Structure 1
């Protein structure tokens, strides 16, 4: 084709091409607007709308509430998983040697027909009919495994296989396996609250470490201590069961069961997800300092109850735990949660551990100091001093005048007229040192009445302590306190 003819036809062809391109882009633009208008103006789902995720287990799903926004904006709702008690299978490691006494702890929290799981023993024991206990199974033979630790016991191998052996029982609709010892007490509702935060279809190994820094150094700060209990999601338990026996052969020199489980988790590349509501309690003595300064998280478990003092003075250990669980029936989410307030006229600092104890201290101590555990207990290794804990502590009293006056929970009931839980706390009678301070002694108070509303949804919100208020009182020897959600702009002021 001649160059002259190209120049002659070029302008009209170019206009035609430009027109076609313009129509294409204009059409695409209108389609774009039409598509996104259907998304932007689509009605938001109502609260409680449930969406189903692709899952590996039948019946497993999670739900959302509200309308989830794009990743560029803040979501209007928090992802919530619907784990219930029926989705949890307990594997309890027990010894025939201690079964007769320790089964009393298990009776306190086990709910026949509601909780599911089994006790794993080393040999058969005499069973009593109609006891509130799970089924008893005998652990499999572990004689083929080598055990070389000179300070430990071969039973550690048997106990480390509790989750795998419970899995092999083939229980249906299990989302979580929870391991504990025969002297571990679980607050079941709070265990459910903790596990509901996590997607059971993922690989989770949940628990916490020891209170003893030295124990964590001996074993690992990344290990869930078994006495406090730990939880393993179903798919992770399946993977553990496949390889655990081979894994155990590689660690004959380890001391216990929990470090063997931790070693296998490391081989599976699974880290510990820490939840401080599980309690190993590697301590001796009085738990008052630890319980009254519980972290702002649900109380999930208590362990080593045969080692520490009874939590309520003068009561047998098991009866004391039962007494605590009576308060938990009214508001399990709030059990042992800490509140701080001041009786300013008398210059008293007041520390409430709901459902357990109230302490009054002469003088004004800051909230930062009051929320720190007092050293009413000793380290697991008794020769070690207070620097050997994995958390901060303070002395029980810096001055003899500041020895706390302790009021232990006597009874708890619900008052329909007031719509509140009423707790009665009575002064623990003991010797208090002479004090020269010119202020009223808390000894003038015999009884403390604590009023509180149930707050079952407290852990669905950002963690925060309840506020405490001193109420007017006309009766001599009685102090009234109100504990509950903090009001707007409410501050614990000195």
Structure 2
């Protein structure tokens, strides 16, 4: 669910003693400490999501700053990307995962691994010269027959200005835009920026 956090600032996390650690290969305490490395560097940007469409490689990339990146094959509709994948179940024990039970927009989590996004999790973060750098390491290990331009990509570096939540941003929040720096192979660079006047996050025809 953290990959679809709304534009509003993150205020709290609940029931972490029940859910699985939010980062792989860590226990709950280690995972929280890892997340707070990003929180301490840029608290206003934590879990803020932006979406990049890359026509050259035919992929859609969702960046959830300070946590993870998902790469989807092909052009995905923005409302579908912003909806939560149903990797969770109702709080009631024995509950069935039915989308009608949730107050948030949800979408199916594919049973076929090859239809799932390629996932990268936060590895490191730093601040310097007015910009924040964060690095994400590939977690998905399965390989599929339908190879894509990101099949060999192992890490992604993301650059952005430190986000200051002024009154205008709080009252009328706007999702930021991002650019993918070409060419890329085993590593990728993404630049997050303010959207231009009249610019929309949308796939190009």
Aligned equivalent of 2:95, options 369, 383, 401: 383
CA shift at 1:429, angstroms? 4.1
Q: Secondary structure at the match of 1:401?
A: helix
1:463 counterpart residue number: 173
Q: Secondary structure at the match of 1:334?
A: coil
Q: Distance in 1 between matches of 2:116 and 2:57?
A: 16
Q: Distance in 2 between matches of 1:365 and 1:376?
A: 19
CA shift at 1:384, angstroms? 2.1
CA 1:473–1:330: 2 relative to 1, 3 Å: farther
CA 1:312–1:459: 2 relative to 1, 3 Å: farther
CA shift at 1:430, angstroms? 3.3
Compare the two structures and name the one with the higher strand fraction. Answer: 2
1:152-185 deviation per Cα after TM superposition (whole angstroms, max 9, x unaligned): xxxxxxxxxxxxxxxxxxxxxxxxxxxxxxxxxx
**Residue 299 (str. 1) matches residue 6 (str. 2):** no
Contact 1:362–1:441 (CA<8 Å) still a contact in 2?
no
Q: Distance in 1 between matches of 2:155 and 2:53?
A: 17
> What is the TM-score normalised by the length of structure 2?
0.89
1:451 counterpart residue number: 159
1:341 counterpart residue number: 52
CA 1:481–1:404: 2 relative to 1, 3 Å: same
Aligned equivalent of 1:327, options 38, 46, 56: 38
Q: Distance in 1 between matches of 2:54 and 2:69?
A: 13
Q: Distance in 2 between matches of 1:309 and 1:398?
A: 20
Q: Distance in 1 between matches of 2:73 and 2:189?
A: 17
Map 1:3-42 to 2 at 5 A.
Answer: none
Q: Distance in 1 between matches of 2:178 and 2:112?
A: 25
2:187 counterpart residue number: 478
Map 1:222-233 to 2 at 5 A.
Answer: none
Q: Distance in 2 between matches of 1:409 and 1:343?
A: 21
Contact 1:305–1:317 (CA<8 Å) still a contact in 2?
yes
CA 1:458–1:357: 2 relative to 1, 3 Å: farther
Contact 1:473–1:480 (CA<8 Å) still a contact in 2?
no
CA shift at 1:440, angstroms? 1.5
Contact 1:349–1:361 (CA<8 Å) still a contact in 2?
yes
Q: Secondary structure at the match of 1:486?
A: coil
Q: Distance in 2 between matches of 1:296 and 1:313?
A: 25
CA shift at 1:449, angstroms? 0.5
1:318-350 deviation per Cα after TM superposition (whole angstroms, max 9, x unaligned): 111111111111211110011011121111110
Q: Distance in 2 between matches of 1:441 and 1:470?
A: 13
Q: Distance in 1 between matches of 2:104 and 2:165?
A: 28
* RMSD (Å) for aligned C-alpha atoms: 1.8
CA shift at 1:422, angstroms? 0.5
Q: Secondary structure at the match of 1:292?
A: helix
Contact 1:469–1:483 (CA<8 Å) still a contact in 2?
yes
Q: Distance in 2 between matches of 1:389 and 1:354?
A: 25
Compare the two structures and name the one with the higher helix fraction. Answer: 1
Contact 2:120–2:140 (CA<8 Å) still a contact in 1?
no
Q: Distance in 2 between matches of 1:325 and 1:349?
A: 27
Contact 1:359–1:405 (CA<8 Å) still a contact in 2?
yes
For structure 1, the residue ranges without an aligned partner over 5 or more in a row are 1-289
CA shift at 1:397, angstroms? 3.2
Larger Rg: 1
Q: Secondary structure at the match of 2:106?
A: coil
CA shift at 1:431, angstroms? 2.9
CA shift at 1:460, angstroms? 3.5
Greater relative contact order: 1 or 2 (C-alpha under 8 angstroms, separation 6 or more)?
2
